[in-house]
A and B are shown apart, each in its own frame.
Chain A
Amino acid sequence: MKEEGLHIGIIPDGSRRWAKLNNVAQGDWQQSGKTTDDIVRHVFTKHPEIDELSIWAMSTENVDRDDYSKNLVYSLLEGKLKDLLEIPLVEKSLKVNVVGSRLGDVPQSVKDLTDRIAAKTKESRGEKTLNICIGYGGKQEILDAVMSSSRWLRKNPTVAKIHKNVFEKFLMIPKPLDIVIRTGGEKRLSGFMLYQIEYAELFFVDTLWPDFSTREFDMIMDDFRKRERRFGK
């Protein structure tokens, strides 16, 4: 039973519905932001068995939406990214990656922050990693890796066949997932990290993201330890 070096993926769904149910204005992402803060902090301070956390902040499809709410997600992201730059965790032991195929379409202010974070945490000796997936989608990640692999092959004409390691290097997040948590009640993966989800244990919870607590996260980790993972054996 794998007890350490875990990679957790989170699909934080349900904020819109939460806003409706709680009579909060659509686009007021404060509670979602708070939950994100709490969970990230909790994971990296209370769960030493977790090495990597990937949070799907925005999909490739959402980037295209001509939405009032999209802009507000960006301002939330800006706020969060600014916060991340301040916390000591980031300097000392945590590497932060912002990944996505559609990063180019994200507002400049967000891009600047992601660049600053990348620069700041590049030197981190940390064995812990936080991946913030913005303008990200598993399908596009694979298509991008395929195109990159094709270009690579052209530049290496003596190679007969692309090795697995070459292809995987072109993925945005190379490490396979051990756990995926999706809040908000839907039981679909919606294209989250297709290649990496191979033998991940899936947890679908009805709780809407803004209501998701660290206690519920711990219960999921307890559950995970009880599961029997066979990897095909």
Chain B
Amino acid sequence: MGIKVLRAGLQTTVQDLGRYGFQQHGVIVSGAMDTFALRMANLLVGNDEGEAALEITLMGPRLEFEQDALIAICGADLSAKIDGVPARQWCPVYIKKGSILSFGGCVFGCRAYLAVAGGFAVKEVLNSRSTYLRAEIGGYFGRALQEGDELTIGLPAEWSGRKIQKLAEQDAGMSPLGWGISVDVFPNYDTNPMIRVVRGAQFNCFEQESRDEFLSSPFKVLPQSDRMGYRLKGPKLELSEPLEMISEAVASGTVQVPPEGQPIVLLADRQTAGGYPKIAQIISVDLPVIAQTKPGESLRFQIVSLEEAEALYVAREMQIEQVRRAIALRYQ
């Protein structure tokens, strides 16, 4: 009982909101790259927003459901299909025992999140179910999914459990519940997006020309970009004078510039410390946006004040609280 992996896809891992509290021990945060999509997917199926879900990258898996379930797919549009019929995203979908969920071409974005009511029952390691590939811990035996794996589904919340039971009694086929997340609350998802940043601690240590170019030129996302970081290619960014840097903590969205002058954006699987000059820091509400860009796309950076970034952060969280309340009403 659960979900059987018929094909694994490019890189499908179990992720939650991350492994916090252990960076001082050198343990990286991990977690979903697009936390907004993961939170929405979980809320839609009646889970806690931080429940473990599957992060599906570009080429999705082929999954057989061995039990009736309520699922939600949020984030990238990777042409999800249930028994060959296109599946609606950003809304709860009832899926019948024996159905096959598959993915096709990438229509938008880079990472889709699949949540199931009840979550994925994998062992918690250091307070998180996120997969930490290099240390081989968390998630599904510390690794990406492989063909033949069997995922166990946890116990759904009472409301979603009732819903599943009701639809099963009606012998329903695949059925979207007819409501979902409005695009109004989406992050600024876009192809070749504009990403907002605040100044990094060493912003002013860069040549004036480099600062201008950082904020006006497109930067291409290189193929060797991954969950650890995005390597960008654009105009060479140069310091006004050499800088003696001492390693210190870095964050998700830190834009650092190694000596060769091409920026690297640190993301979910970043190391806990870094020693390169930080030209900028992506604001929290735009992290899901960069998480959905893929190699070959271009980014532009736009500077905002810390106060703007904070206001956007709080507004986003209040919006998510509203979504949570609205969903709770739906399930009553």
A and B, one complex?
A: no
